[in-house]
Amino acid sequence: MAASKGAAMSLRRAVGVFLLAGLALSHSARAQSVEDFYKGKTISLILGFATGGLNDIAGRLVGQHLGRFVPGNPRIVAQNMMGAGGLVAANHLYNVAARDGTVIAALDRNTAQTGIRGGECEIRSLAADLAW
């Protein structure tokens, strides 16, 4: 009976060690918080409009204040990328820009329809893949 008690204690001790090790490892493997991700980063706000227009002014106004509402308070830098009615900006966003949340865009609502309607402009982005 004494050997049985000793084996039970060893088993409990081993289970306890494995549980503690599992907790320690799972704590270190947790995902990075949104605030930690954006802290000290810069978000590029691509404006698919000409400089000085109403949409440009509205986009820059939003960019000035948007950083306060994103966890981590990242810096927002507006960048105009005009051309082809916003297709240049849409193609850049879809094909070139980082897909980690550090690049966002303000596009005309008709930009997505251009690919559906067809036309002479070359669209290299899929409207269904862009989050509106």
Residue ranges per structural domain of the chain: 1-30, 34-129
| CA atoms within a 13 Å half-sphere pointing along the CA-CB vector of 64 | 6
**In contact, 46 and 97? CB cutoff 8 Å:** yes
d(CA 61, CA 106): 12
Q: Which residues contact 68 (CB under 8 A, 6 or more apart)?
A: none
**In 3-state terms, what secondary structure has residue 77?**
strand
Query: In this predicted model, what pLDDT tens digit does every residue of 88-119 receive, in sequence order?
Result: 888 888 888 888 889 988 888 777 666 566 55
d(CA 132, CA 128): 9
Q: What is the pLDDT of residue 18?
A: 56
Query: In this predicted model, what pLDDT tens digit does every residue of 12-48 receive, in sequence order?
Result: 665 555 555 555 555 554 678 989 999 999 999 999 8
